[in-house]
A and B are shown apart, each in its own frame.
Chain A
Amino acid sequence: MEEGRQKDLQLLEEIIDKGLKQKLVHATASRDKIFEEQKVLSDLRKNLETLEKNAVNSLKTMVNLGSEVYMQAEVPDTQHIFMDVGLGFYVEFTRQEALDYIAQKEERTKKQLEEYTGVITQIKGRIKLAHYQIQQLLNLPEENPSSSRQRTF
């Protein structure tokens, strides 16, 4: 009976493990996205700051037309920049406004990261707990009462 129970419990724990692990994977993926966004924002900020420092108004660049075919492009005035604010909207900023915006966005990004990190941590903890319970169940029938007590510690 006990063995049967143990087996059932073991199965349950395995199932939980799978679920938990999947959740973990999802959480990790979404956090990685946020990481990327954060990186992009930081790169943009750096570029704008560089432009500001050097008082660069126009610049030439190569535009990817598709399939790695580039064409020269010129930006005559770098004062205005269009920023992606989410949901498919692009807002026209001046360079300075853009920098402010980027700063704000970076903060929000950090918060998101922290949230996701917390979720991930939680999931990881649950997985560890499940493992531990499985171990206990397996060890109980083999253990002596004394050792079990030790294990619980």
Chain B
Amino acid sequence: MEPPAKGTVTPLASLFSEEEARKAASYVEEKIGEKRVEMNRLQQFVDENDNLINLVKKLPDQLHHNVMVPFGKMAFFPGRLIHTNECLVLLGENYYTDRSSKQTVDFLKRRDKTLQSQIHSLKAEIEDFQTEASFFATTASEAAEGLVEIREEYVEEDSSAPVIQSSEREPSNISGGEAEEGELEDDDFARIMSRLNELEELEDDDFARIMSRLNELEMEEEQEGEDGGDRGEEHDSPIEILEESQHDLVKGIRGETDCGRIEYGKQETTISVPMKTSGHSSSIREPRVSEPRVKAKVIQVLPETHPHKDLDDPLNCIGPMSQYLPKGDQSRSATAQQNAGTWRDFQATAAISTAKAKTNVLGPQKIESPIEKPEPEFDSTKAFTGSIVEHAHIQETSTHSHTQSSVSQPSKPVSRFKAQRR
């Protein structure tokens, strides 16, 4: 996943030669032995001290104790311990003091504390030495085994983009071309999302406008007849959107919003549009009147819109395109559809799904599916009940339903156009 980071491979043996490590380990162990001897000595002192404390405590119990009094190293005199409460204590440096037995006991206890602290420090030292020795030993063994130390530079991944992007980036890092695409996708996606947000904000206004427009179209359609109602709606909506998109960038936004609406949640407009604009299509949309015209327009528009489009525009394009797509489908030629489809797909994918940001890059294939999705939207709008349902359905699952509906619709628009042409 990550690019081959620069790294260094160093055999552990080079850093710590085995022999040296073993020597160090043995040296440290010697030290440990010395410390242990010292600690044993101290422990002996402690034990002796404890015995002495007990003895000194017991001695005052009697006035005299019969003892063997040593006379040099080799002779004893039988004698008695007298003044059992008095002790001569060596303070150090040839300083002696007479102490009572209780005072002597206290003195000995203080001495015991000193000894204990010394023992503690020695223990700590021994532990340190032990850890050191173990470290040396393990290092020596590792060096003998040929352990290798690997160092790599840490390459931070861009965590700002979503997982998809990051996953895209990873391969892109590996291959530069892909990186560009991934970046583009990320950028596109970001832009699209921002655009969508804008569109949603504008949607209300646009929605009102569209609704009014649709109403007008409906009126016209009703006048003309309801044959092409669905188609008209389809046509109308796309036409409207197309016109709008043609005129304004804002329209484009609208288109996006429309697309967004249509595709996302505001397919209400589409629903309404097709419903209303059954007759609209014919009257309002000249391009629609003739399929070829429409197509041409569609196609023309598409290219026009395309140039307009930046990555942001795709949304705009998607809107009209999605509509165009149904038209295209309606109009019949697979090619037209495909063209429109491709356009739409491209836009639709961009607009419809955030997840489809990839799809944009991926290409037409995916576009088609989304294209179909918007198409079904329109188609669904034509059939009132069906449209409503589908819209809801579409809203939930943006493209899938559309695809199905879109397929069925193409036929209708065709006839509608013909009728309108007349």
Contact = CB atoms under 8 A, between A and B. Distances in A.
Interface stretch (B50-58, B288-296, B388-396): B50-58
Contacts of B108: 67, 69
Contacts of B67: 63, 73
B87 A75 contact: no
Contacts of A90: 76
A76 B79 contact: yes
A44 B82 contact: no
Contacts of A24: none
Interface in B69-118: 69-84, 86-90, 96, 104, 108, 111
Contacts of B49: 67
A132 interface: no
A112 interface: no
A65 interface: yes
B68 interface: yes
B88 A62 contact: yes
Nearest to A80: B78
Interface residues of A, number: 29
Contacts of B76: 81-82, 90
A65 B317 CA distance: 108
Contacts, number: 94
Contacts of A82: 68, 75-78
Contacts of A77: 78
A115 interface: no
A81 B69 CA distance: 10
A76 B79 CA distance: 6
A44 B76 CA distance: 11
A83 B48 contact: no
A80 B56 CA distance: 28
A4 interface: no
Contacts of B74: 40-41, 44, 83-84
Contact of A81 (B71, B73, B86, B90): B71
A49 B259 CA distance: 130
Given A40-B74, A78-B77, A81-B77, A70 B68 contact: no
A83 B72 CA distance: 10
Given A66-B48, A82-B78, A71 B86 contact: yes
Contact of A71 (B45, B70, B87, B96): B87
Contacts of B122: none
Contacts of A67: 45, 48-49, 52, 108, 111
B79 A43 contact: no
B90 A68 contact: yes
Nearest to A51: B71
B45 to A, nearest CB: 8
Interface in A53-103: 61-63, 65-78, 80-84, 90, 98
Nearest to B55: A65
A40 to B, nearest CB: 5
B250 interface: no
Contacts of B71: 44, 47, 81
B52 A71 contact: no
Given A41-B74, A76-B79, A84-B75, A61 B87 contact: no
Contacts of A78: 77
A74 B79 contact: yes
A133 to B, nearest CB: 37
Interface in A4-47: 40-41, 43-44, 47
A83 B70 CA distance: 10
A109 B96 CA distance: 37
A71 B81 contact: yes
B77 A63 contact: no
User: Which of B71, B76, B86, B90 counts the most chain A CB atoms within 10 A?
Assistant: B71
A40 B74 CA distance: 7
B86 A75 contact: no
Given A44-B72, A63-B67, A69 B82 contact: no
Given A65-B56, A74-B80, 5 more contacts: A71-B84, A71-B87, A72-B86, A76-B80, A81-B75
25 contacts: A40-B74, A61-B69, A61-B79, A63-B81, A65-B56, A65-B87, A66-B48, A66-B52, A67-B45, A67-B108, A68-B90, A69-B90, A70-B96, A71-B86, A72-B81, A72-B88, A73-B67, A73-B69, A73-B79, A73-B81, A73-B82, A74-B80, A75-B77, A80-B77, A83-B74
Interface of B: 45, 48-49, 51-52, 55-56, 59, 67-84, 86-90, 96, 104, 108, 111
